[in-house]
Amino acid sequence: MTVVEKSETIRLLESRVSVRKFRPDPVSDDLLAIVLRAACRAPTSSNIQAYSLIVIRDAETRRALSVLAGNQAHVADTPVLLAVCADVSRARRACELHGRPFAGQNMEIGLVATVDASLAGMCVMLAAESLGLGCVMIGGMRNKPLETARLLALPDGAFVVFGMCLGWPLERPEMRPRIPDDGAIHLGRYDASRTDDVLRAYDEMITNKGDAAMTWTARISRDFSTARRPDMRACLAALGLPFE
């Protein structure tokens, strides 16, 4: 194979979209097991494997989680919902089994667990999409972290980083353009001198794609000019992940 030929993985990434409408066809237990088993080979810091994946098929639980996630209909409608969790409870138990204190209630281990969960979740998505399934990540699962943790019976030391709807696509939306490469990729050192030019180009690109006539910078300035989930630190502390 020459360097100009694209692998199946690259083609998959280049065509990836978020799917929010699913056929009613079930995803078999065997197929889902294959996807999840592959995803559990995700990279993990120091082999701590500080994540857990919860498979939610029950319609009533999905409906309850859809409300907690901001009334997102696809959370209730998807055949399979995954809760991708940062989870240090096994590491804590390992310390207990050997009579040692658990020193993981700090920002570093909180970040490790969150990164571990994110890597595992992305591997789930890639494995699922390679088999023809469609997925979308659900950040709204962090809207009510305490209620979500209670509903899913999470142990102390675990929280849902994001959810993932997974099923057979009813439709695949058009791909959204991303920030141009020269805005997100830097060679050798970060070059902030081109940021404004990149943002102007991206605004024009997004508007030309018909995104409600609102530029990307206008939407970001609207959505992120006030703090999101300001009680998150207190909620994580209550769940055994103080991030201090």
For each of the domains in the chain, give its residue range(s) and CATH number, in order of start.
Answer: 16-173+229-238 (3.40.109.10)
Beta strands at 80-87 and 158-167: parallel, antiparallel or unpaired: antiparallel
Pairwise CA distance, residues 43 & 25, whole Å = 32
Of 204, 176, 206, 179, which is closest to residue 194 (Cα–Cα)? 179
The reported pLDDT for the residue numbered 205 is 87
Dist CA 149 CA 197 (whole Å):
43
3-state helix, strand, coil in the chain (%, to 5): 50, 15, 40
Structural tokens at position 10 = 């690259």
At 3 the pLDDT is 59
Q: Give me the tens of pLDDT residue by residue for the chain, a chain 244 residues long.
A: 555 678 889 999 999 999 999 999 999 999 999 999 999 999 999 999 999 999 999 999 999 999 999 999 999 999 999 999 999 999 999 999 999 999 988 999 999 999 999 999 999 999 999 999 999 999 999 999 999 999 999 999 999 999 999 999 999 998 888 999 889 999 999 999 999 999 999 998 887 555 556 889 998 999 999 999 999 999 999 999 888 7
- pTM, two decimals, is 0.93
HSE value, Cβ hemisphere, 13 Å, CA-based, for 26: 7
Q: What angle do CA 219, 74, 215 make, to 5 degrees?
A: 15
Residue 104, pLDDT score: 87
Q: What pLDDT is attached to residue 65?
A: 98
